[in-house]
Amino acid sequence: MAIVTVLFCVITLIVTPHQTADARMYEDCVQQREDYPLPPLPYSYNSLEPHMDATTVQIHHLKHHAAYTKKMNAALKQWRDEDPENTLATGSIVEILQHLYNVPEKYRTVLRNNGGGYVNHAIYFACMSSRGAAISQDLENDIIKDFGSYNNFTKQFTTKAMGLFGSGYVWLSRGGNDKLVISTTANQDSPVTESFRPILVIDIWEHAYYLKYQYRRADFVAAWWKLVDWKAVVDLDKWWRVNYRYG
């Protein structure tokens, strides 16, 4: 009986969806929180199979993303306790990343790494799904305007993903005048710090793919394209228009 119970719990942990598909992992990023929760995934850990294995997704979320969340919260608490009148310290994590160079040096690196890790992973997980989704005509038109064609965009994005040295991310973001740009960040740096509004990202840290793909980054990148949920990307694009504040 004990063995059956354990097996049931393991299967439930891997298979059970953690929230509805309509929920947004990144909602809390622009909220002022005393303690940020680890955002639950909008799908079950095994739902990205066969392109991304359940063990990788589970470890990536419950270990890596959770660790960034915990360390970010600890740094924010210490900073706020030490300087309770600092309005930036009590702002949202997105506001803090926007004004990272105004963060006291004592906390800047830990919040660059862990606040960035918190936001980056929320966007990364939110832009994938098992169902995928066709790109909207409006977004495709913007891609064609800024990259010449959809194929040019995917080639440029893939080239960046293959050429990124070490650990980091490749992003599609809105920049000034709503222009779409492809950029890379190292480690857990966030494009928000560079005044971009990120709407799509691939995680090139080895923990994102090594269990299944080992050194075969090209295979991982090709598989990731099959998981991109363009509806979720459009939703994020619209969300930034409402929630992003310049300056």
The per-residue pLDDT for range 104-128, each reduced to its tens digit, is 999 999 999 999 999 999 999 999 9
pLDDT of residue 102: 97
Has residue 157 been placed in a domain? yes
Same domain, 101 and 185: no
pLDDT of residue 176: 84
pLDDT of residue 24: 84
Euclidean distance between CA atoms 149 and 142, whole angstroms: 9
* Per-residue pLDDT tens listing for the chain (247 residues): 444 333 334 433 444 444 433 458 999 999 999 999 999 999 999 999 999 999 999 999 999 999 999 999 999 999 999 999 999 999 999 999 999 999 999 999 999 999 999 999 999 999 999 887 789 999 999 999 999 999 999 999 999 999 999 999 999 999 988 999 999 999 999 999 999 999 999 999 999 999 999 999 999 999 999 999 999 999 999 999 988 765 5
Same domain, 239 and 201: yes
pLDDT of residue 247: 54
Has residue 45 been placed in a domain? no
Same domain, 146 and 236: yes
Q: What is the CATH number for 141?
A: 3.55.40.20
Has residue 179 been placed in a domain? yes
Same domain, 188 and 219: yes
| Residue indicated by tokens 């913007």 | 142
Has residue 37 been placed in a domain? no
Tell me if 64 is assigned to a ligand binding site. Answer: no
pLDDT of residue 244: 77
Q: Show Cβ contacts of residue 140 under 8 Å, excluding neighbours closer than 6 positions.
A: 150
Number of domains in the chain: 2
**CA 12, 18, 19: angle at the middle one, nearest 5?**
145
How far from 181 is each of 168, 237, 245, CA to CA, in Å? 17, 13, 19
Tell me if 121 is assigned to a ligand binding site. Answer: yes
Euclidean distance between CA atoms 232 and 86, whole angstroms: 35
Tell me if 65 is assigned to a ligand binding site. Answer: no
Is 0.85 surpassed by the pTM of this model?
yes
Has residue 239 been placed in a domain? yes
pLDDT of residue 3: 41
pLDDT of residue 105: 96
Residue ending a domain, choose from 107, 127, 147: 127
Same domain, 113 and 151: no
Has residue 49 been placed in a domain? no
Q: What is the CATH number for 115?
A: 1.10.287.990
pLDDT of residue 246: 59
pLDDT of residue 170: 98
Has residue 20 been placed in a domain? no
DSSP letter, residue 214: T
Same domain, 155 and 202: yes
Residue ending a domain, choose from 99, 127, 155: 127
Tell me which residue range forms the domain holding 62: 54-127
Residue ending a domain, choose from 127, 156, 175: 127
Same domain, 142 and 225: yes
Tell me if 60 is assigned to a ligand binding site. Answer: yes
Same domain, 151 and 69: no
Euclidean distance between CA atoms 16 and 13, whole angstroms: 6
Has residue 40 been placed in a domain? no
